[in-house]
Amino acid sequence: MKTDRQLKQDVIDELEWESAVDETGIGVEVHNGIVTLSGTLNSYAEKYAAEKAVQRVEGVKGLAVELDVALPDWVQRTDADVARAAAQALEWNALVPKDCIKIKVEDGWITLTGNVDFQYQRIASERALQNLLGVVGISNQIAVTPSVTPRDIKNHIEAALQRRAHTETKGIEVIVNGDQITLNGSVSSLAERRAALNAAMRTRGVAKVVDKLFVA
């Protein structure tokens, strides 16, 4: 197991390696495996890239983000400009259902509301806006509205897993709690784990997937 000092150095190295991040503006602290990022960055896209970089580092138990976004003058946009750009980005994204998402922009911060059938649509809506100029943050309040029963969700996931020849389903238990799915059990590889999680995530009515799978 890594010490906090080792983990901190790994996080710093990963941030330096990530070309989308100017690591000189980021402070890193680690306590009992929990990483805290602080500082000021020039865009929301850079903040998001920094978060993802830290999450890639082995041994990170949790991440506290205390990063601020201060847009340079040349990036400044009015809220109306950001709202128009966001609406167009969603309209041109094939993964986002038409006329399901509402956009609110206040001081560069985008709030998304509405209802979709699938979790991947909720994620795609946010990702479509992350690189827009003038954005300082995004609150994703889009709801995944189940249009099927918990039993249907469970059956659909189990059937999807069985259709994948590279995924062994005998060791996987599917637990449904409303729109939340928990996958328990063992798989034989990371590829099988990813396949199982993707199958659950792409099932209609699923808003959250809790991963309790382990590779045996």
**CA distances (Å), origin 145, targets 24, 160, 197:** 42, 20, 19
What is the distance between the alpha carbons of residues 71 and 25, in angstroms, rounded to a whole number? Answer: 13
Sole residue written with tokens 């976004």: 69
Question: Which token pair is 99?
Answer: 């006329």
The domains found in the chain, sorted by start residue, are 4-70 (3.30.1340.30), 74-144 (3.30.1340.30), 150-215 (3.30.1340.30)
Q: Give the type of residue at 138.
A: I
SS3 content of the chain, % helix, strand, coil (to 5): 35, 30, 35
Between CA 53 and CA 60, with CA 55 as vertex, the angle to 5 degrees is: 125
- The whole-number pLDDT of residue 167 equals 54
Per-residue model confidence as pLDDT tens for the chain (216 residues): 789 999 999 999 999 999 999 999 899 999 999 999 999 999 999 999 999 999 999 989 999 999 999 999 998 999 999 999 999 999 999 999 999 999 999 999 999 999 998 888 999 999 999 999 999 999 999 998 766 666 777 777 777 777 764 555 667 888 888 778 898 988 877 777 888 888 888 887 788 889 998 877
Q: 110: burial class by Cβ within 10 Å (0-12, 13-18, 19+)? A: buried
The identity of residue 183, as a single letter, is L
pTM to 2 decimal places: 0.69
Main-chain dihedrals φ then ψ at residue 44, nearest 5 degrees: -65, -35
